[in-house]
Amino acid sequence: MTQSKNLSIKRLINGRYWASHHPLADKTGILHAHDLLIQNEQIIGLIAKDEGHYAFNSNDIEYHDLKNMLVTPGLIDCHTHLVFAGNRAYEWEKRLNGATYESIVKEGGGILSTVRATRESSEAELYNLSLPRLDSLMNEGVTTIEIKTGYGLDYDSELKTLKVIKELQNKHSIDISPTFLGAHAVPNEFIHNKSAYLDLVIDKMLPDFFTARLFEAVDIFCEKIAFSLDDAKRLFEKAHSLGIPIKAHAEQLSHLGASGLVAKFKGLSVDHIEYLEESDILLMKNSGTVATLLPLAFYFLKETKLPPIDLLRRHKIPIAVSTDFNPGTAPMASIRLAMNMAAVQFNLTPKEILKGVTVNAAKALNRSTSIGVISPNYLANLAIWAVDQPVEIFYELGKNPLVQRIYKGEFRKH
Ligand code: NIG
Ligand code: FE
């Protein structure tokens, strides 16, 4: 079996492909009457169903009958905080009784309460806590996920988180893009000396962890209750000098202008952006920066200020959609729920939402030439759905229409 691996080709027949870029796709983005050819990890052809049968020795072809099911690119969750310990349900209860997210932060709760629990946990404990969260996303067709640090906030605990991410990557059929978010909050021991903490992040953790190839991009929470625009500038300048791609939690609770700054550094994405303004969007227009919308955090914080969707559309900014899975503002490990809420709360169209968890999410992770599109030369990372229309992927919650994932050319149970 292993001997024939390089030669053998999988030919997926009787499938329908969500390939909205394809000239023959219908108005919902579906391409009919085509077969997909996969060799090893890669897609090598998307061809008309009558074509190409003569081209290969039939012994080298494995046929897979998809029975009219819908195939999308494997979904990409491009913004999560999946590795953490502890429980913030009691804070939610406080909020349900009238407290605000900011007031809880000021009392020492919020991110710092998760930091305490995460610091106290071993690598093995963190791994075991993270696994069911990862499983739940994989079970909904996710084949690539971004995971941020940011609940350690000291050298050893951030390193521990990065090691857990690496372990998750090594043991599971999912592609993980780690992001360093040392600038998530100021830890208690530096509460009166924020700039010394930032020095530690910028001068020590950032170069050390990047040299050890433990992360791919750097993030910062730019907000009145976290880091300022000047802090972000310091971080980005250092990251830029080391060739590290940047992104930010920007304009989530107020407008600070971090998005424009990210754009000036040609950053990968600005995330949340409820308070984004047109002047920021104009800066993003030529930078390739993706606007990542996080409808679960919007919902869970009972935010009422909508991100400027029409302006993003008008200026043709690529829009990604992600879970933001985290214990404080989005404790839901469900990309389908995020997609559903992007539709209901943000009025995105099904096509925009599907692009938001595939091609545009790939762009936000600097992977736009390898994943997110069903096309030759892309990785064969796919999700197979028992649905008629694409919108059904996130229509009926409580019933999961995922049949199988294909990860790097291999069929996976989930
Ligand atoms: O994306 N905004 C900052 N970070 C997270 C929340 C983290 C937390 O509350 O633990 C977010 O919403
Ligand atoms: Fe986040």
The answer to whether 294 touches 271, Cβ cutoff 8 Å, is yes
Distance of CA 373 to the CA centre of its chain: 15
The whole-angstrom separation of Cα 69 and Cα 67 is 6
Tell me what the mean pLDDT of segment 193-204 comes to. 98
Tell me what the mean pLDDT of segment 382-395 comes to. 98
pLDDT score at 101: 86
> Using a 6 Å cutoff on CB, does residue 274 contact ligand 1?
no
> Using a 6 Å cutoff on CB, does residue 324 contact ligand 1?
yes
pLDDT score at 52: 79
Distance 267 CA to ligand 1 centre (A): 20
pLDDT score at 244: 98
The answer to whether 385 touches 402, Cβ cutoff 8 Å, is yes
pLDDT score at 414: 64
Q: What one-letter code names the amino acid at 152?
A: G
Beta bridge partners of 73: 382
Spatial CB neighbours of 115, under 8 Å, sequence gap ≥ 6: 151, 152, 153, 157, 185, 187
Which letter, b or e, does each residue of 367-382 get, where b requires 16 or more Cβ atoms within 10 Å of its Cβ? Answer: bbebbbbbeeebbbbb
Average pLDDT, the chain: 95
The answer to whether 371 touches 379, Cβ cutoff 8 Å, is yes
Q: Which DSSP string corresponds to 219-268?
A: EEBBSTTSB-HHHHHHHHHHHHHHT--BEEEESSSS---HHHHHHHTT-S
Which numbered atom of ligand 1 lies nearest the CA of 301?
Answer: 12
The answer on pLDDT for 106 being more than 80 is: yes
The answer on pLDDT for 3 being more than 60 is: no
> Using a 6 Å cutoff on CB, does residue 329 contact ligand 1?
yes
In whole angstroms, how far apart are CA 32 and each of 39, 237, 308, 358, 409? 21, 48, 35, 19, 21
pLDDT score at 216: 98
Q: Is 409 left (phi over 0), alpha (psi -120 to 50) or beta?
A: left
Instruction: Identify the three-state secondary structure at position 71.
Output: strand
Distance 81 CA to ligand 2 centre (A): 6
pLDDT digits (tens, 9 = 90+) for 274-315: 999 999 999 999 999 999 999 999 999 999 999 999 999 999
The answer to whether 342 touches 356, Cβ cutoff 8 Å, is yes
Tell me what the mean pLDDT of segment 42-50 comes to. 95
The answer on pLDDT for 206 being more than 90 is: yes
Which range has the worst mean pLDDT, 47-56, 143-152, 382-391?
A: 47-56
**Nearest CA to 84 among 46, 120, 135?**
120
Q: Is 79 assigned a ligand-binding role in the annotation?
A: yes
The answer to whether 266 touches 288, Cβ cutoff 8 Å, is yes
Q: Is 258 left (phi over 0), alpha (psi -120 to 50) or beta?
A: alpha
Closest CA to ligand 1's atom 1 = 324
Q: What ipTM describes this predicted complex?
A: 0.95
The whole-angstrom separation of Cα 341 and Cα 209 is 35
Res. 59 pLDDT band, cuts 50 70 90: confident
pLDDT digits (tens, 9 = 90+) for 351-383: 999 999 999 999 999 999 999 999 999 999 999
pLDDT digits (tens, 9 = 90+) for 216-268: 999 999 999 899 999 999 999 999 999 999 999 999 999 999 999 999 999 99
The dihedral built from the CA positions of residue 43, 46, 47 and 49, taken in this order, carries a sign that is positive
Spatial CB neighbours of 399, under 8 Å, sequence gap ≥ 6: none
271: which 2 tokens? 């995330």
Closest CA to ligand 1's atom 12 = 329
Which numbered atom of ligand 1 lies nearest the CA of 114?
Answer: 10
Distance 185 CA to ligand 1 centre (A): 10
**Nearest CA to 88 among 388, 327, 357, 369?**
327
The answer on pLDDT for 149 being more than 60 is: yes
Which numbered atom of ligand 1 lies nearest the CA of 79?
Answer: 1
The answer on pLDDT for 46 being more than 70 is: yes
Tell me what the mean pLDDT of segment 106-131 comes to. 95
* Torsions phi, psi for 55 (to 5 deg): -75, -25
pLDDT digits (tens, 9 = 90+) for 93-105: 999 999 998 899 8
* Torsions phi, psi for 198 (to 5 deg): -65, -35
**Nearest CA to 307 among 350, 283, 341?**
341
Using a pLDDT cut of 70, give the percent of the chain over it: 97
Tell me what the mean pLDDT of segment 200-215 comes to. 98
The whole-angstrom separation of Cα 69 and Cα 390 is 11
Distance 172 CA to ligand 1 centre (A): 25
The answer to whether 341 touches 356, Cβ cutoff 8 Å, is no
Ligand closest to 111 (CA) is 1
23: which 2 tokens? 């000239």
In whole angstroms, how far apart are CA 413 and each of 93, 358, 381? 37, 20, 13
The answer on pLDDT for 1 being more than 70 is: no
pLDDT score at 6: 58
The answer to whether 228 touches 256, Cβ cutoff 8 Å, is yes
The answer to whether 139 touches 169, Cβ cutoff 8 Å, is no
Tell me what the mean pLDDT of segment 266-275 comes to. 98
Q: What one-letter code names the amino acid at 95?
A: R
Closest CA to ligand 1's atom 8 = 328
pLDDT digits (tens, 9 = 90+) for 329-348: 999 999 999 999 999 999 99
Which numbered atom of ligand 1 lies nearest the CA of 330?
Answer: 12
